[in-house]
Each structure stands twice: as C-alpha cells, then as structure tokens.
Amino acid sequence: MSENSIDVNALGEKIVRVLKTIFDPEIPVDIYELGLIYDVFVNEDYEVKILMTLTTPNCPVAETLPLEVEEKVKSLDEVKDAEVEITFDPPWSQDLMSDEAKLELGML
C-alpha cells in the first residue's frame, strides 16, 4: 500500500456516514437504515458508484434523491467522483430495513 493511498474500507465507512444523513421524505429514517442502498463500489481512482433503489418506482423524490446522494458523497475530500445507479431489481421491501429502522417506525 503506497503512502498516499486511501484506505478503501475507511472511505466506505465515511460514505455510509454520509448516506445516513440522507432521509426519505416520507419515512423518518435514513436511506441506509431503510435498506435503499444495495451496494457501494470504490475503485482505485476513488470514483464511487452507488447502487440504490427507491421505496417505489414513482417515489416523489425519484429525481432529487439520487442527485442528493451523488452531491453529498462527492463532497467528501477523498472522493473524486460519484455516480448513483437506480435499480428496482430486487424491488425494495420492508424486509430490507434494519432493525433500527423497524424499531423507529414501531414495526418491532
């Protein structure tokens, strides 16, 4: 590992912390705990790709939420670029929510 290389795991954790500051406007839980983030990829050039879904295909924030995710992840100093890809495969379901999110919503 060269001196100036960034620990990708540490960067991953930073990205998750940022994702936890973004909330679905209809549900008072962050998008990470909701299970909307399917995967986060970081390559050696510190370009980030986030695979995420929305609670429904016609979610009111379908246009703005991915942009907010991109902007907030790009704001991290270590990140050179960020791209969000939306997928509905598999479709989101409440099973994807963390126990913390279910507790918050009174589902546990």
Three-state DSSP at 87 gives coil
Determine whether 93 is exposed, middle or buried from the number of CB atoms within 10 Å of its CB (0-12, 13-18, 19+).
exposed
Can you point out the beta strands (E) in 1-108? 37-42, 47-52, 81-86
The residue ranking higher by pLDDT, 2 or 9, is 9
pLDDT digits (tens, 9 = 90+) for 12-64: 999 999 999 999 888 889 999 999 999 999 998 999 999 999 998 888 888 89
Residue 5 has pLDDT above 70, yes or no: no
Domain ranges within the chain, ordered by starting residue: 8-93
Q: Which helix (DSSP H) or strand (DSSP E) does residue 14 occupy?
A: helix 8-19
- Give the CATH number of domain 8-93; options: 3.40.50.10490, 3.10.20.30, 3.30.300.130, 1.10.10.10: 3.30.300.130
